A and B are shown apart, each in its own frame.
Chain A
């Protein structure tokens, strides 16, 4: 029997429960173009009551109640769907947070081999003035040997390979977001005096990810190279990030 059978059952219940004489005086609106076919088939089976709000054998039309049932359900579904979005979207960063999204820093005091940490969008931002040796080490690695072969540089296209040249604007200055791409800890910088990991860049103590002198992931659970943020030199030693 399928849907027609079920629909007939429901209409019988309506018929039995509707005792409002006002309904009987209202004329039946013909909404035959609305709703699926089985309402009509179902209506034909519901002939046990005199209630004129219901269809019977002589009027094989869906009833006004069928129409209201579908219309109310549709309005409720669309309404809940529309109302849900503001409740979801309120969780996203506010306009004030978005407005604070860029900074300008002076890096003239940073000496070769030194790293300074700035705060950008709530995250640490590493600005590292690399020595010639560190640049040479980074350049010696073929991109095919890297776990993550993409540059992850917001200033380049998404598919740029992770060569050292693609990781910087000026080779001496490496600017990366200091957030381990595994689970967000701040990696510790490696220096000749205090080596961290085996690749001369950074070591994340939380779960043991190791980065090289271009901030590229070399070992451990982190899936991506440290992100290079959108930035530009606004002077010889002035950088605008974001």
Chain B
């Protein structure tokens, strides 16, 4: 795309096609000869894994939709009876799809943290990063709609809690929030109409994701990959062609990733699930503890950390929208944390902070840690964690970027690699 095309059609047909629709040229330039920094490490394999997981989810989802019934009276039975017990290999397809969602998020979190660590959001890759944030938000929406479909207790009450976030608008413009929730539900409460539209949207959004992924790859291929050194590619000596070097590397780790993925599918298919979702939705009884899926827990903890409804919802939304402006919050001239001794430590504190928030989000609202006589309510940990989450982006990133004394950058990727005895 951004580099000179080296494709030469060899047969009469490919020459003919190349003048009419240069699609082989596009594939060749994007995934075969595409010059890639020669020093990409393990953490760069997750982009390819994510692309494959999107295909896995779309294919398994399409076949599941052939057996699923989006109706409040029939949905639970169509999943637990028909798909799980009657459809040939239905149990396998369902477990692939459910665990695939968790694996998708696992990979996307590694991918996002990788981008943060190596400064992949910095110029000239801001649009690439923002498109990635859009994909992440679309993934969360898709996963949320999908989780509602089996119509279990967690499906129902998760849908109620998340859609009720909009009722916080009532505190700014009275009754507008309630009107929006009724509009989203198509009823006065989550019900049949809600289930139908969520099914429709759950089918639609993955294709929207696929479209944004196309833009994401386009925006990647214009400036080219960032790399662990965070310095620009200076010439052909710094790159290798994508194929076979990274097709093999990505493929190898994809196999390892699938071993983990299928390990869950076959040996612990309900590891990420919640037992309450094996009880059919009951609009009159809320389960004792509402817990979202694990990949949403840090944000759920931040929502619960705030004793005010409106501010809690604003914090939740703000924590996600903050990601969009990260390219401009980081003031450092150096991309990679390898050369940013202070930022490197703050980054790992941030990773720990996200894990801590995830843990707190998984506990009950009134949980506490006991130290002998003393007790620490977990809500205070959540408040501390929320403070660091926002402080990391809005205070530390702009401030440290200006103050920090960075380590000297290597002359070039090639020099750095060859100095270590690589080849």
Residues of B within 8 A of A185 (CB): 157, 160-161, 286, 290
Q: Mark A208-234, 1 if CB is under 8 A from B, else 0.
A: 100000000000111100000000000
**A50 CB, min distance to chain B CBs, angstroms:** 38
- Partner-contacting stretch, out of A13-21, A62-70, A78-86, A121-129: A121-129
A207 and B365 within 8 A (CB): yes
Is A238's CB within 8 Å of the partner chain B?
no
- List the B side residues contacting A97 at CB < 8 Å: 186-188, 193
What are the residues of chain A within 8 A of B364 when measuring CB–CB?
205
State in angstroms the CA–CA spacing of A179 and B170 once bound together.
15
**A119 in contact with B161 (CB, 8 Å):** no
**Which residues of A from 172 to 215 have beta carbons under 8 Å from B?**
178-179, 181-186, 205-208
Contact of B186 among A91, A117, A119, A186 (CB under 8 A): A91
CA distance in complex: A207, B312 (Å):
11
A84 to B307, CA, bound (A): 38
Nearest CB to that of A223 among chain B residues? B309
- CB A89 to nearest CB in B, in angstroms, measures 9
Q: Which residue of B lies closest to A88 (CB)?
A: B183
Residues in A neighbouring B73, C-beta threshold 8 A: none
- Tell me how far the C-beta of A184 lies from the nearest C-beta in chain B, rounded to whole angstroms: 4
Which residue on chain B has the smallest CB distance to residue A242? Answer: B188
Q: Is the interface of A mostly helix, strand, loop or mixed?
A: loop
Q: Verify if A157 is at the interface (C-beta below 8 Å from B).
A: no
CB-CB under 8 A from A183, the residues of chain B are 160-161, 164-165, 167, 309
Interface residues of B in 268-321 (CB under 8 A from A): 283-286, 288-290, 304, 306-310, 312
- Is there an interface contact between A91 and B183, defined as CB atoms closer than 8 Å? yes
**Cβ 8 A contact of B283, one of A119, A181, A182, A221:** A119
B366 at the A interface (CB under 8 A): yes
Within 8 A of A (CB), among B154-171: 157, 160-161, 163-165, 167, 170-171
Minimal beta-carbon separation of A170 from chain B (angstroms): 24
Closest CB in chain B relative to A6 CB, distance in Å: 27
Q: Taking the nearest CB of chain A, how far is it from the CB of B303, in angstroms?
A: 8
- A119's contact among B165, B193, B284, B306, by CB below 8 Å, is which? B284
State the CA gap A184–B188 with chains docked (Å). Answer: 12
Whether A121 contacts B189 in the complex (CB less than 8 A), given A183-B165, A185-B157, A205-B289, comes out as yes
Query: What is the total number of residues of chain A having a CB less than 8 Å from a CB of chain B?
Result: 29
With known contacts A93-B188, A183-B160, A185-B161, A222–B309 Cβ distance under 8 A:
yes
Which residues of A are found within 8 Å of B191, using beta-carbon distances? 122
CB-CB under 8 A for A124 and B283, given A91-B184, A183-B165, A185-B157: yes
Q: Are B307 and A220 in contact (CB under 8 A)?
A: yes
- Bound complex: CA of A123 vs CA of B187, how far in Å? 10
Q: Let me know if B182 is at the binding interface, CB within 8 A.
A: yes
A123 near B188: Cβ-Cβ < 8 Å:
yes
Kindly list chain A residues whose C-beta atoms are within 8 Å of the C-beta of B197.
91
A119 nearest CB neighbor, chain B only: B284
* Min CB–CB distance A30 → chain B (angstroms): 47
A221/B312 contact (C-beta < 8 A), A93-B193, A207-B304 known: yes
Closest to B188 in A: A121
CB distance from A118 to the nearest CB of B (A): 9
* Measured CA separation A88–B191 after assembly (Å): 19
**Does A144 belong to the interface (CB within 8 Å)?**
no
Task: Verify if B50 is at the interface (C-beta below 8 Å from A).
Answer: no
The residues of A that contact B183 with a CB separation of less than 8 Å are: 88, 91-92
The B-contacting residues of A in range 86-121, CB under 8 angstroms, are: 88, 91-94, 97, 101, 117, 119, 121
Residues of A within 8 A of B187 (CB): 93, 97, 121-122
Whose C-beta in chain B lies nearest to the C-beta of A93? Answer: B187
User: What residues of A have a CB within 8 angstroms of the CB of B171 in the complex?
Assistant: 223
Question: Does chain A have a CB within 8 A of B414?
Answer: no
Chain A residues closer than 8 Å to B108, beta-carbon distance = none
Q: Kindly list chain B residues whose C-beta atoms are within 8 Å of the C-beta of A123.
A: 188-189, 283
Contact with B along A22-56 (1 / 0, CB 8 A): 00000000000000000000000000000000000
A143 shortest CB reach to chain B, Å: 19
Which A residue's beta carbon lies closest to that of B366?
A208
201-237 of chain B: CB within 8 A of chain A: none
Cβ–Cβ contact A122 & B307, under 8 A = no
B304: chain A residues within 8 A (beta carbon): 207, 221
Residue of A nearest to B289 (CB): A205
Q: Can you list 19 A-B pairs, Cβ within 8 angstroms, ordered by A?
A: A88-B183, A91-B183, A93-B187, A122-B190, A178-B284, A181-B167, A182-B164, A183-B160, A183-B164, A185-B286, A205-B364, A206-B286, A206-B289, A206-B365, A207-B304, A208-B365, A221-B304, A223-B309, A223-B310
Q: Which B residues have a C-beta under 8 Å from some C-beta of A?
A: 157, 160-161, 163-165, 167, 170-171, 182-191, 193, 197, 283-286, 288-290, 304, 306-310, 312, 364-366
Q: A93-B186, A221-B304 known; 10 other A-B pairs, CB under 8 Å?
A: A94-B186, A97-B186, A122-B189, A122-B190, A179-B189, A181-B309, A184-B167, A185-B286, A186-B285, A206-B290
- A residues engaging B (CB < 8 A)? 88, 91-94, 97, 101, 117, 119, 121-124, 178-179, 181-186, 205-208, 220-223
